[in-house]
A and B are shown apart, each in its own frame.
Chain A
């Protein structure tokens, strides 16, 4: 019983930050049809900007709670400053071209951003671990957990519900849905598709940066952060179905719990467990768990 509970808690806490990042990836794909390889770079950027802002907050002797505000602000800054620049300055020139070309363009972005972060922040690590201790510890069974991990779970729930509500219960969401179904028809109805693309991309990047900002206190922020994140995020959205919010949530939970089960029961199969689940899902539902089968346009 204790083991099952531990696996469940470990799986859910791992899934929380992963869901936030994967949600951004799936949103960008759903709206812009871009498989954004550079998504992990925006995650890393969120972590770096957080490191800078939290350090600034500490140097100004602001109350510790302000570091949470600084983390949120870091994600907003990345979304507001970097996302429009990337989407308007680069990606829009490749819309309508082969999707493989866009994958290559975002791969080039990933390589450049790795160097860019090193140019700005250098190769030395940054630590912003103070917020990690803000929520105290919680004892459950034989384990001691850090309260911050549960705060991340709550944040993931809020973010997931927020994005779902935004897409399904607001006028903006309906416009985005229209663009997802057919950009051409939406355009003919007077919708500024390019504006929707930019906003959707910014929201996707915000989520990547938010994931980076709120995991930064658990990590040493340094070059190389982006690689692992993008690979595991892809596994999540492929399991859940590209472009599906529910899929990202369930995919993250499946990956988190499968991984936790392997680590506790058969540690050498940790990586294998994630990709085994992915392979099984693809065998029976090649489109992922939550993506509806769509008629191909001719």
Chain B
């Protein structure tokens, strides 16, 4: 009798332990895909992952500010699997399948490269799995396709060039002639086209001159700089980024290009911490959003700035901001769906419905899933002008101007190129009050 009792007790205990263990181990599993190696790692991939790490840690400890203060996601600890985006689109499709089918992740958040985004989005849709594209720029993903389970929580690249053109016009910067240097792949070519169309709208008499399209990763720009200087223009536009942008600035600065022409860098904020005083004063640049030194002052931004800076010894630039807004949007959408599902993990369908068309505050301002049936975000953007501050030993940004999301993004159901060709038809531009701009200038330094 005692033996049977003991056996039953043991069995019950083991079952209880197993059940408890299974419950304790239930997590919200996220696959994060970003460049951990190769040329895009230093500028985008790794800063984005660093942003994810500090944020997930704060989420799991319940230390994020409201409304992100519930531990984990809906009480479930967040478990992250990091995957390297390097290796090309074919590899990424396989990695995406592995994440869903082998690693059983609930959500994948990832992709810097537009090529990778274009390749993985249809696969996630076919598998009916939840995918958030956090960074890639090409507008074509949602303009040429319809998705239910794929989202992009950041604005696409059209915003960057429209903002730049509007900034030039607002500041009365003369643009009778302009030269261009952009990388010879989807990002560079799209940026070049968007800028030319935007400039045509605001400066109808402006003439394009030298139009350079060096290959991605070229590194040496001596010849291109000669070409840009041989036909000097009022303006030089570039969407170069990462190591290419750094090399271009290092080589063009000493040759006087920045003095001969007004150089504008549509995605240049991320090289400021590294280049420091090597970045020529007076360069006009964007951050692909109101990020970093141009982020709107808010307790949420100060909190994110501080935890990132403390963990990484450098202030956050565009990539960590974009990752943060993706994870914050996901957290709120998942918690809303879980609340309606008695605290249990929602199905992909319910989670997608929760994120679709939603809005949330991020360190870079409000994110609105306003385009492409609520699958594509719009957000405010900002442009500023560089100045080396010898006291702070960092580049600061002056003359910051922010633009409303609806002023620099196409309206609902209008393709970017059609919108640009229509002369920004339907754009709602409300100039930010000067006080806001001044407050932005007084952002706490690192």
Give B154 Cβ to nearest chain A Cβ, in Å.
Answer: 22
Q: Evaluate contact between A268 and B275: CB separation under 8 angstroms.
A: no
Interface size, chain B (Cβ < 8 Å)? 38
A220-B250 in contact (CB<8A): yes
- What band does the interface of chain A fall in when counting residues whose beta carbon is under 8 Å from B? 35 or more
Cα–Cα, bound, A148→B224 (Å): 17
- Cβ-defined contact, A271 with B215, below 8 A: yes
Determine whether the beta carbon of A264 is less than 8 Å from that of B38: no
Inter-subunit contact A267/B274 (CB<8 Å): no
Q: Does A118 contact B (CB under 8 A)?
A: yes
**Pair B212/A267 contact, Cβ less than 8 Å:** yes
Q: A138 CA to B214 CA in the complex, in Å? A: 25
B243 within 8 A of A: yes
Evaluate whether A220 and B213 lie within 8 angstroms (CB atoms) in the complex, with A143-B226, A267-B227 already known: no
Flag if B226 contacts A225 (CB, 8 Å). no
Fill in one digit per residue for A89-133: 1 if any B CB lies within 8 Å of its CB, else 0: 000000000000000000000000011001000011101010011
Whether B230 lies near A264 (C-beta < 8 A) is yes
How many angstroms from the CA of A127 to the CA of B246 in the assembled complex?
A: 9
Q: Does A270 belong to the interface (CB within 8 Å)?
A: yes
Given A125-B42, A125-B246, CB of A259 within 8 Å of CB of B37: no
Contact partner of A6 (CB less than 8 A), chosen from B41, B217, B218, B226, is B226
Is B250 within 8 A of A143, CB to CB?
no
- Give the CA-CA distance A6 to B243 in the complex, in Å: 26
User: Which residues of the partner chain B approach A127 to less than 8 Å between Cβ atoms?
Assistant: 246, 250, 274-275, 278
B37 and A10 contact, CB distance less than 8 A: no
In the complex the two chains form, what is the Cα distance from A115 to B45 in whole Å?
A: 15
Asked if residues A144 and B220 are in contact (CB atoms below 8 Å), the reply is no
Q: A6-B226, A127-B278, A137-B255 are in contact. Are A222 and B211 (CB under 8 A)?
A: no
Which residue of A is nearest B217, CB measured? Answer: A228
Q: Would B218 and A228 count as touching, CB distance under 8 A? A: yes
Set A123, A146, A228: member contacting B41, Cβ < 8 A? A123
CB closest chain-B residue, reference A259: B223
Q: Is B256 an interface residue (CB 8 A)?
A: yes
Q: Which of B217, B220, B243, B246 has the most CB of A within 10 A?
A: B220
Residue of B nearest to A6 (CB): B226
- Let me know if B46 is at the binding interface, CB within 8 A: yes
Interface string of A270-291 (1 = CB under 8 A from B): 1100000000000000000000
Given contact pairs A124-B274, A146-B255, A228-B217, enumerate 12 new A-B contacts (beta carbons under 8 Å).
A17-B220, A125-B42, A129-B278, A132-B250, A137-B256, A142-B230, A219-B243, A220-B250, A222-B41, A263-B214, A263-B223, A267-B227
B contact set with A: CB distance below 8 Å: 36-42, 45-46, 184, 210-215, 217-220, 222-224, 226-227, 229-230, 243, 246-247, 250-251, 254-256, 274-275, 278
